[in-house]
Amino acid sequence: MNALTVAKFGGTSVADYAAMTNCTSVIKGNPDTRIVVISACSGVTNLLVELAKGNVALDRQKAILTQLADIHFSILEQLPEKPSVAAAVNQILVDVSTFAAAADTSPSDKITDSLVACGELMSTHIFTHLLNTQGIDAVRVDVRDILKTDDVHGKATPDLVETSHHAQTILRPLCDEKVVVTQGFIGSDLNGNTTTLGRGGSDYSAALLAEAVQATTLEIWTDVPGIYSTDPRVAPAAKPIDEISFSEASEMANFGAKILHPATLIPAMRQDIPVFVGSSKAPKQGGTWIRREAEYSPLFRALALRCNQTMVTLTSLNMFHAYGFLAEVFNILAKHKVSVDLITTSEVSVSLTLDQTNTKGGAPTLPDAAEKALSKLCRVTIEQDMCLVALIGNHMGESRGSAAKIFGALEDFNLRMICYGASNHNLCFLTNTNESKDVVKALHKELFEAI
């Protein structure tokens, strides 16, 4: 099979005309790039989510629509005029207004998906036009004709069989002659209704398409040159990572490293597709390769931080030397579609964190009905304003003295919940939000900067 690269560009990479132009240079630099997956322009999705929540004052709605128009037409004004592209963007803005009015009356996950998808629909019209003006023969494809999902709005599950069929019959033939530009983050159910893969799902979309067309490489282009030992904005001494394994990168993404969507690597792992992460602003700086196995596997690889965490503590004396309590708890959570992230237990209580996976963002909440059902079983305590710190590494549970080194660095901090032992690749704990960055700094200094 000929080499085929799928390249995904995030919101900051397509924020404005200059940023988009950098992306065209990246595409020109690799003739194997045949599918380009684009996010909404930076800041657009946040504006659309605000509209989707409903109860937005009319003046604010108008201001948001004006801001959306300014973002997109400021780019078009710097390109040769093409009435069909301007008309397409204007029509999507009309759709935004219509969906916003519907959300104001009766907000729903279905309307939210239709609204937030408009960002990618607009950015891809503009980016395809830019590529063509740069001498690249590009065609825009609506990913909703390719990426099929179930009908769960806010966090749809891809239908791999249908997606593969459409990718092979529609996308793959186009790749032989043109560069295909399509949208990240969105898809459609089998009835044609717009769905989304959850906030930040553009990376995941790109990986699903790479798997479906049997690509040889997946590139994720963002605003930082690869993956670092932690966020350089938190710890300025953070070190770049040249190569990392799928397992380590998956842990990092799952525990808050914003450079990758948590589900991104699953399709790549299934097809053993190497993934490159780099900066569209500085592609010559290199980046990070993610492969099935890394040549070097250190004890401590990286630190990740995930905030907006919600901890639920369930306390009942009926737990003591009893069985079936946890089964009842998780039956209730499953019934109300509550996703659990971390869990720890004692003789009379269990603490767990809630997973936030849908489009709405913010701290995850325990639905009122679930809280009411749990309260009949035990005492329920809900705490927010916490962050999850995760230390990613290799064979940490098998290395004597590693725990002492880790917790020695944290002796001045209050740790609320600790999870260790379920995986040899991570140790994670909750801490108060106001201490979280200091925790990361202290750990990074002890484990990475002293080397």
**Strand stretches in 46-205, DSSP E:** 138-140, 148-149, 179-183, 186-189, 194-196
The verdict on whether residue 5 carries a ligand-binding annotation is no
The verdict on whether residue 8 carries a ligand-binding annotation is yes
The verdict on whether residue 204 carries a ligand-binding annotation is no
Two tokens, residue 298: 């250190």
Two tokens, residue 305: 């931080």
Two tokens, residue 235: 């710890």
Q: Which residue has the tokens 């725990």?
A: 403
The verdict on whether residue 169 carries a ligand-binding annotation is no
Nearest CA to 206 among 171, 174, 244, 154? Answer: 171
Beta 240-241 vs 300-315: how paired, if at all? unpaired
329 Cβ neighbours under 8 A, 6+ residues apart: 314, 350, 374, 377, 378
| Integer Cα distance of 182 and 391 in angstroms | 35
| Integer Cα distance of 273 and 211 in angstroms | 8
CB of 309 closer than 8 Å to CB of 386: yes
| Integer Cα distance of 373 and 171 in angstroms | 48
The verdict on whether residue 11 carries a ligand-binding annotation is yes
The verdict on whether residue 120 carries a ligand-binding annotation is yes
Inter-axis angle of helices 368-375 and 325-335, to 10 degrees? Answer: 160
DSSP letters, 307-326, are EEEEEEEEE-GGGTT-SSHH
Radius of gyration, CA atoms only, the chain:
23
Longest dimension (CA), the chain: 74
Q: Which amino acid type is present at position 437?
A: K
The verdict on whether residue 381 carries a ligand-binding annotation is no
| Integer Cα distance of 238 and 248 in angstroms | 17
Q: Which residues are annotated as a binding site for substrate?
A: 45, 120
Q: Which residues are annotated as a binding site for ATP?
A: 8-11, 222-223, 228, 233
Q: Which residues are annotated as a binding site?
A: 8-11, 45, 120, 222-223, 228, 233
